[in-house]
Chain A
Amino acid sequence: DIQMTQSPSSLSASVGDRVTITCRASQDIYNYLNWYQQKPGKAPNLLIFATYNLQSGVPSRFSGTESGTDFTLIISSVQPEDFATYYCQQSYITPITFGQGTRLEIK
């Protein structure tokens, strides 16, 4: 199985900060990497698909990059509604696997 390792597991930020969350795949996944946001008590919501592509309706302050097997979610200027847990997911091969999550908290 492909292991997805997210870092950090949690972080604190202030409104307006630039935030980066990293996800490392245990093998090459050819940009088949997606990001989801989950707020407490709610289902996850797709943010970015195939590494770079913003899902419809997602603010442009969210973006995704990659370098080899390292993938990064960037929030350019964190807003109050962005405080949530973020998950990466590889869909290159089954079993589909998720990172363990990164909890973004208000500083």
Chain B
Amino acid sequence: EVQLVDSGGGLVQPGRSLRLSCIASGFVFDDYAMHWVRQAPGKGLEWVSSISWNSGNIGYGDSVKGRFTISRDNGKNSLYLQMNSLKSDDTAFYYCVKDNGYDILPGGNWFDLWGQGTLVTVSS
């Protein structure tokens, strides 16, 4: 079955760290760029970060730049998001997302497979 399974969410205090993971199956993981997209409860979608098939190109949204780090391990079919210096505004469902192509250069990308999401709650 083609799927993405997100994990690693939970309750964390402001200023602390958390690492999200995503395991892919049913497709050739290292053929595709991957992304993280988040959604605060009851709110809209916000792009967080992207990584190309070989980790050669990486991008971040302004709200997480310098605090979050995206990475992947193609040998383990896995995508990660290391989140440091967490703030209450980071509270959201985090979705692992597959791109239609292998790179993250602008133009012609769409998100054709989403994980089920993992909830991160930042609160004291």
Contact = CB atoms under 8 A, between A and B. Distances in A.
Contact of A95 (B61, B107, B116): B61
DSSP class of B's interface residues: helix, strand, loop or mixed?
Answer: loop
A98 B46 contact: yes
Given A94-B59, A95-B62, A34 B47 contact: no
Contact of B47 (A49, A50, A98, A99): A98
Interface stretch (A12-20, A38-46, A59-67, A69-77): A38-46
Interface size class of A (residues with CB under 8 A): 20 to 34
* Interface of chain A: mostly helix, strand, loop or mixed: loop
B114 A44 contact: yes
Contacts, number: 64
A91 B117 contact: no
A46 B95 contact: no
A100 B61 contact: no
Pairs A-B, 8 closest by C-beta atoms: A43-B114, A49-B110, A96-B47, A91-B109, A98-B45, A34-B110, A93-B106, A101-B44
12 contacts: A36-B111, A42-B116, A43-B114, A43-B116, A43-B117, A50-B108, A89-B45, A91-B109, A92-B107, A94-B50, A94-B104, A94-B106
Contacts of B100: 49
A27 interface: no
Nearest to A56: B112
Interface in B20-70: 35, 44-47, 50, 59, 61-62
Contact of A91 (B44, B95, B107): B107
